[in-house]
Amino acid sequence: MSKLILDHQQFEIDELFQFIASGDTLELGEKGRKAIIKCREYLDEKMEKTEGNIYGINTGFGSLYDQSISRADLAKLQVNLVRSHACGTGAEVSSAIVKTMLLFKAIGLHYGHSGVQLETVEQLIYFYNNDIIPVVYEQGSLGASGDLSPLAHIAMTLFGEGEVNYKGKKVDTAEVLASLDRSPVHLRSKEGLALLNGTQFMSAYLAHCVYEGKNILKQANLNAAMSLEAYDGRLNPFSVSVNKIRNQAGQIKTAAEISEILEGSEFVTQHKVHVQDPYSFRCVPQVHGASWDTLDHVEQVVTREINAVTDNPTIFPDEDLIVSAGNFHGQPLALALDFLAIALAELGNISERRIYKLMGGMRGLPAFLVAKPGLNSGFMIAQYTAASIVSQNKQLCTPASVDSIDSSNGQEDHVSMGANAATKLHRVVENVWQVLGIELMSAAQGLEFKGVEKTSKKLQGLHKEFRKSIPYINQDIYMSSHLRASKDFVKQNNKSFL
**What is the H or E stretch that residue 412 is in?**
none
**Of 198, 217, 239, which residue constitutes the final position of a domain?**
198
Return the DSSP state at 378: T
The verdict on 181 and 214 lying in the same domain is no
CA 76 to chain centre: 35
The overall average pLDDT reported for the chain is 94
Residue 11's φ and ψ, nearest 5 degrees, are -110, 145
CA 135 to chain centre: 19
The answer to whether residue 498 scores a pLDDT higher than 50 is no
H helices of 397-417, where?
A: none
CA 121 to chain centre: 24
Domain range for 136: 3-198
More confident residue, 55 or 173: 173
Q: Residue type for 265, please?
A: S
Q: Please report the pLDDT score of residue 38 as a whole number.
A: 98
Q: Please write the tens of the pLDDT for every residue from 244-287.
A: 999 999 999 999 999 999 999 999 989 998 999 999 999 999 99
**Of 131, 166, 198, which residue constitutes the final position of a domain?**
198
The verdict on 161 and 228 lying in the same domain is no
Q: Please report the pLDDT score of residue 68 as a whole number.
A: 72
Given 42, 55, 205, 211, the catalytic residue: 55
Contact (CB, 8 A) for 206 and 302: yes
pTM over 0.85: yes
Q: Please write the tens of the pLDDT for every residue from 137-163.
A: 999 999 988 899 999 999 999 999 999
Indicate the pLDDT class of residue 495, thresholds 50, 70 and 90: low
Residue 40's φ and ψ, nearest 5 degrees, are -65, -45
Exposed, middle or buried: residue 353 (CB in 10 Å: 0-12, 13-18, 19+)? buried
CATH code of the domain in which 262 resides? 1.20.200.10
Rounded Cα gap, residues 159 and 147, in angstroms: 19
| Contacts with 462 (C-beta within 8 Å, 6 or more apart), sequence order | 222, 226, 497
Indicate the pLDDT class of residue 435, thresholds 50, 70 and 90: very high
Q: Residue type for 163, please?
A: E
278: cis peptide before it, omega within 30°? no
Angstrom distances, CA of residue 475 to CA of 376, 466, 479: 6, 19, 11
Rounded Cα gap, residues 164 and 320, in angstroms: 38
Rounded Cα gap, residues 194 and 192, in angstroms: 5
The verdict on 109 and 140 lying in the same domain is yes
Rounded Cα gap, residues 202 and 187, in angstroms: 25
The answer to whether residue 211 scores a pLDDT higher than 50 is yes
Contact (CB, 8 A) for 90 and 139: yes
Handedness of CA 5, 6, 11, 17 (dihedral sign): positive
Using DSSP's 3-state secondary structure scheme, residue 110 falls into coil
Rounded Cα gap, residues 114 and 185, in angstroms: 16
Question: By C-alpha distance, which of 290, 325, 299 is closest to 310?
Answer: 325
Rounded Cα gap, residues 238 and 258, in angstroms: 7
Residue 25's φ and ψ, nearest 5 degrees, are -95, 155
More confident residue, 35 or 61: 35
Contact (CB, 8 A) for 102 and 203: no
Contact (CB, 8 A) for 311 and 114: yes
The verdict on 295 and 438 lying in the same domain is yes
| Contacts with 419 (C-beta within 8 Å, 6 or more apart), sequence order | 140, 141, 142, 143, 147, 150, 201, 202, 330
What number of helices (H) and strands (E) belong to the chain?
18, 9
Q: Please report the pLDDT score of residue 412 as a whole number.
A: 76
The verdict on 156 and 233 lying in the same domain is no
Q: Please report the pLDDT score of residue 61 as a whole number.
A: 62
Q: What domain count does the chain have?
A: 2
The answer to whether residue 15 scores a pLDDT higher than 90 is yes
Q: Please write the tens of the pLDDT for every residue from 308-332.
A: 999 989 999 999 999 989 999 999 9
Question: By C-alpha distance, which of 164, 78, 182 is closest to 126?
Answer: 182
Angle at 151 (CA atoms; ends 146, 156), nearest 5 degrees? 140
The answer to whether residue 65 scores a pLDDT higher than 60 is no
Q: Please report the pLDDT score of residue 69 as a whole number.
A: 66
21-46 mean pLDDT: 96
The verdict on 262 and 385 lying in the same domain is yes
The answer to whether residue 290 scores a pLDDT higher than 50 is yes
The verdict on 15 and 147 lying in the same domain is yes
CA 386 to chain centre: 22
The verdict on 97 and 232 lying in the same domain is no
Query: Which is it for strands 25-28 and 3-6: parallel, antiparallel or unpaired?
Result: parallel
89-112 mean pLDDT: 98
The verdict on 306 and 361 lying in the same domain is yes
**What is the H or E stretch that residue 322 is in?**
strand 321-323
How many residues does the structure list for the chain? 498
**Of 159, 180, 198, which residue constitutes the final position of a domain?**
198
CATH code of the domain in which 10 resides? 1.10.275.10
The verdict on 146 and 209 lying in the same domain is no
Indicate the pLDDT class of residue 348, thresholds 50, 70 and 90: very high
The question of whether 42 is a catalytic residue gets the answer no
The verdict on 177 and 234 lying in the same domain is no
The rounded percent of the chain whose pLDDT value lies above 90 is 85
The verdict on 269 and 325 lying in the same domain is yes
